[in-house]
Amino acid sequence: MNSPKRYSPEVRERAVRLVLEQQGEYPSKWAAICSIASKFGCSPETLRAWCKRLELTQEDSSADLPENERLKQLERENVELKRANEILRKAAAFSAQTEFYRKPN
């Protein structure tokens, strides 16, 4: 059974727009989503799904973006990927270090 839709398209659009506008002020996109979702009274996963849906529709129309806007979008994605890589690099180093100090049985 489907439950009635709780959020209007306008509310969804505004929440997604806030995530896109303010994600630079947070350490990660997920942190922005969690913060903004609580303000709209929806779950972070719901807001993430709305953002993902918008990204998928924008990929189809990304050829229509002006060069400057497309460059800004790619730069934001690049920064996010660099952060993720740094976190993974530190986690791998920590894991390797704990394996080195583990006592053999």
Torsion, Cα of 90, 92, 98, 104 (10° steps): -170
What distance in Å separates the CA atoms of residue 11 and residue 6, rounded to the nearest whole number?
10
pTM for this entry: 0.52
- Closest among 57, 46, 56, 35 to 6, alpha carbons compared: 46
CA distances from 98 to 89, 90, 102 (A): 14, 12, 6
Q: What is the pLDDT of residues 4-24, one digit of tens each?
A: 568 888 899 999 999 989 888
- Closest among 13, 18, 14, 39 to 29, alpha carbons compared: 18
Q: What is the pLDDT of residues 40-92, one digit of tens each?
A: 999 999 999 999 998 888 766 656 668 888 889 899 999 999 999 999 999 99
